[in-house]
A and B are shown apart, each in its own frame.
Chain A
Amino acid sequence: RKEVEQDPGPFNVPEGATVAFNCTYSNSASQSFFWYRQDCRKEPKLLMSVYSSGNEDGRFTAQLNRASQYISLLIRDSKLSDSATYLCVVYSSNTGKLIFGQGTTLQVKP
């Protein structure tokens, strides 16, 4: 079993739609969680950190469920420019490493 698992998609949605991605992690000692965005043939870039209380940044909302060991990303009012691959990232202090999920591809259609 992979340490961080994501549905690779692709998720094809129309502009204006709301879309949600989930990610599960296996290491219960994981401490920090992030969502990265990666555009085609570009480097990953930090989208947002994920906090236990949940956090929102404009149209993006991230949630963490420690009991079930999953994190989620919700995108409201999708834009064409949201088309990208979204990487779920987990940090565990006992390993000292960031573990990346495979990524979920989102394609927003006009």
Chain B
Amino acid sequence: NAGVTQTPKFRVLKTGQSMTLLCAQDMNHEYMYWYRQDPGMGLRLIHYSVGEGTTAKGEVPDGYNVSRLKKQNFLLGLESAAPSQTSVYFCASRTKKETQYFGPGTRLLVL
């Protein structure tokens, strides 16, 4: 039981490049989330999903897209990376009755 996993762990991008962050969970959780964490800002919700095939915007969705084609996977895409998207990205999942379990994070640096 791996819990919540994220790939890659670390990535460096140039401004304008695109990439996809993958989150996978093996706990059969309905809800999945993408957050970013920046110094002095705490965790901010980017997008979330309440089930396979559904997504919704969070607090800071601009510049990101997501997809939840399979229940166990939640993808976060950056179509044209900007330096302001340099951050640590955490994925989380939960059932309806429980609190969230987080993945180990992806550190992204945009130059």
A residues contacting B by CB (< 8 A) are 8, 32, 34, 41-46, 49, 87, 89, 91, 96-98, 100-103
Contacts and interface: CB of A to CB of B under 8 A. Distances in A.
A102 B105 CA distance: 17
A38 B45 CA distance: 17
Interface string B41-65: 1110100101000000010000000
B103 A103 contact: no
Chain B interface size, under 10 / 10 to 19 / 20 to 34 / 35 or more: 10 to 19
A57 to B, nearest CB: 15
Contact of A42 (B50, B100, B104): B104
Interface of B: 35, 40-43, 45, 48, 50, 58, 90, 99-105
27 contacts: A8-B40, A32-B99, A34-B99, A41-B105, A43-B90, A43-B102, A43-B103, A43-B105, A44-B43, A44-B90, A44-B102, A45-B102, A46-B99, A46-B100, A46-B101, A49-B99, A87-B42, A87-B43, A89-B99, A96-B50, A97-B48, A97-B58, A98-B99, A98-B100, A100-B35, A101-B42, A102-B41
